[in-house]
């Protein structure tokens, strides 16, 4: 039987929360609480994964780095997901890195335990595979959005994605940092953020963003944000899953 405290802590990750109680109890011994600092690297490109992480208050970006050093983000993972799908997909490594963009906590589960449970429990497997599809949706939308939409819209999308995964209206990150995610120049982010600030959607000051008008951001963002959100809801939280 899970203590109320443990249950409360563990279900701050929505994937874990979606699991049946007896499953959670079985998983608990394999889960370790960890914390990530801003910018901390969970794994490097090509590095063998030793564990997966279920973020609770942290947010993790899947980042690609090109040979010339330019970078772009392919996906963003918070308490709605899990970092390290390659472990149960069977590849064990991926050609991208994972970086914490919001400092905070997560639950860590080592490779063996994960693979064992994946093979053993149908509900666990089903949930993880559905999550994989949600992740694919997010990545493919990023592919299209990166191609077709302006920096300003993509910035809105990124802010909303991050805001969704954080329990606050304040984010701590520099424009330089964001430009690495968006795959653009820092100056372009400055200009775009300036416009969002001018129309009163956000406030920006030295690595400290405040979301002032969330609805306004939702109005300024491209369709990509909603498509991914709706599809994720459908895949993970809608039907009688778990």
**Which residue ranges make up the site for a copy of itself (CB under 8 A)?**
62, 64, 66-67, 70, 72, 74-75, 85-86, 88-91, 94-96, 126, 129-130, 132-137, 139-144, 146-148, 183, 223, 227, 231, 234-235
Straight-line distance from the first to the last Cα atom of the chain, in angstroms, rounded to the nearest whole number: 19
Under 8 Å between Cβ of 74 and 139: yes
In whole angstroms, the minimum distance from the beta carbon of 197 to DNA comes to 6
**Choice between 189 and 211, CB closer to a copy of itself:** 189
In whole angstroms, the minimum distance from the beta carbon of 16 to a copy of itself comes to 18
In the shown chain, the binding pattern of residues 174 to 193 toward DNA, with x for contact by CB under 7 A and - for none, equals xxx------xxxxxx-xxxx
Per-residue buried b or exposed e for 143-168, using 16+ beta carbons within 10 Å of the residue's own CB: eebbeebebbbbbbbbbbbbbbbbee
In the shown chain, the binding pattern of residues 45 to 84 toward DNA, with x for contact by CB under 7 A and - for none, equals ----------------------------------------
Torsion-angle region of residue 84: left (phi > 0), alpha (psi -120 to 50) or beta?
A: left
In whole angstroms, the minimum distance from the beta carbon of 183 to DNA comes to 7
Closest CA to 11 of 42, 46, 56: 56
71 sits in which H/E element: strand 71-77
| Contact set with DNA (CB under 7 A) | 150-152, 174-176, 183-188, 190-194, 197, 204-208
């Amino acid at each position: 039987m899970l203590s109320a405290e443990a249950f409360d802590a563990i279900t701050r990750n929505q994937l874990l929360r979606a699991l049946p109680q007896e499953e959670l109890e079985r998983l608990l011994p394999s889960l370790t609480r960890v914390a990530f600092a801003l910018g901390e690297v969970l794994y490097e490109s090509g590095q063998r994964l030793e564990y997966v992480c279920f973020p609770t208050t942290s947010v993790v970006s899947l980042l690609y780095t090109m040979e010339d050093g330019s970078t772009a983000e392919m996906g963003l993972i918070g308490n709605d997901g899990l970092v390290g799908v390659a472990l149960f997909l069977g590849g064990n490594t991926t050609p991208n890195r994972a970086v914490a963009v919001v400092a905070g906590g997560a639950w860590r589960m080592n490779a063996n335990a994960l693979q064992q449970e994946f093979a053993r429990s149908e509900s666990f497997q089903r949930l993880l595979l559905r999550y994989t599809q949600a992740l694919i949706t997010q990545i493919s939308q990023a592919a299209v959005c990166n191609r077709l939409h302006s920096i300003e819209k993509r910035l809105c999308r990124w802010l909303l994605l991050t805001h969704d995964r954080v329990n606050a209206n304040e984010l701590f990150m520099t424009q330089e940092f964001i430009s690495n995610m968006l795959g653009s120049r820092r100056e372009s982010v400055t200009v775009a953020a300036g416009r969002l600030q001018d129309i009163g959607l956000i406030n920006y000051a030295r690595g400290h963003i405040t979301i002032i008008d969330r609805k306004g951001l939702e109005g300024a963002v491209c369709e990509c944000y909603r498509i991914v959100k709706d599809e994720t809801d459908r895949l993970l939280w809608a039907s009688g899953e778990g």
